[in-house]
Amino acid sequence: MKITGKVAVITGASRGIGKATAIELAQRGAFVIVNYRGSEAAALETVAEIKSAGGDAVCMAWDVSDYAECEKNIKQIIDTFGRIDILVNNAGICVLEDFLSADSFENRDKHFDINIKGVWNTTKAVLPSMFKTGAGAIVIMSSVTGDMVADPGEVAYATSKAALVGFTKAMAREVADKKIRVNAICPGYVLTPLVEGMAKQSDPEDPKRAIQAIADAVPLGRLADPTEIGELAAFLGSSESSYITGAQIVIDGGSTLPETTSMGQ
């Protein structure tokens, strides 16, 4: 309950990890702004679920890749709700593509615009209000992909997620004297619409097989539930993690652990 009364913005909270994070933060007493880009019905559903569980939230649409939109909407949030205490930079995309395919520049730019510039834009728009209140917690949804592991077709995605580790560390240094903490979460595979889409891309005939194959390669034998990532985000957003900053926390069921698939088995 160390976030009761705090105002939290979660980007990309209409579904998946962002939705679970919004629910977890609201359950712990935060007032939540559920950001989305196009999925209004899903965002309204997130808000309805939060309210029916006794929490409070609103949803607001903006595209994180557009700085002017970020600035306008963040200003509106501050004018209306007074401040922002917690920012979870979660919005992101992942589209598999061969590096040599014809439109790989377009795919690269989409990933960089949303996954990297989206975090940059939203953080830049929010920080002045955290400076004013003299406190804040920023959580960045990176990934084990890029900084630690990768699969074929993930060059654009992996590059964007690895960049967020650098962003986290540099930003944590830059704002530490203002009592603002910045941390990255690096999930392994989480069962969300994004991963279901990747599985369809990877095995259009049998996407369930692709999901099962991921689970089989994880020491804990399954993908993460979005709630498990949301719980970690809520911890990093709360004062329970008051001495953690600049960290990248891996939450992957041990998926980056195996040294071989043969030894001792």
Determine the interface stretch with ligand NAP among 33-41, 70-78, 79-87, 98-106 (rule: CB under 6 A): 33-41
Q: Nearest distance from residue 215's CB to ligand NAP, in Å?
A: 12
Nearer to ligand NAP, 131 or 157 (CB): 157
Q: Which is nearer to ligand NAP, 107 or 192 (CB)?
A: 192
Half-sphere exposure at residue 70, Cβ-oriented, CA atoms within 13 angstroms: 23
In the complex with ligand NAP, the residue whose CB is nearer, 39 or 133, is 39
- Which tokens in the block code for residue 194? 């994004």
Burial 11-36 (b: 16+ CB within 10 A, else e): bbbbbbbbbbbbbbbbbbbbbbbbbb
CB of 34 to ligand NAP, least distance (A): 9
Q: Is 17 in the site for ligand NAP (CB under 6 A)?
A: yes
Burial class (CB in 10 A: 0-12, 13-18, 19+), 70: buried
| Contact window for ligand NAP (CB under 6 A) among 72-80, 124-132, 182-190, 232-240 | 182-190
**Alpha-carbon distance 37 to 50, whole Å?**
19
157 is catalytic: yes
Distance CA 139, CA 89 (A): 6
Q: Which residues bind ligand NAP (CB under 6 A)?
A: 11-18, 35-39, 63-65, 90-94, 114, 118, 141, 143, 187, 189-190, 192-195
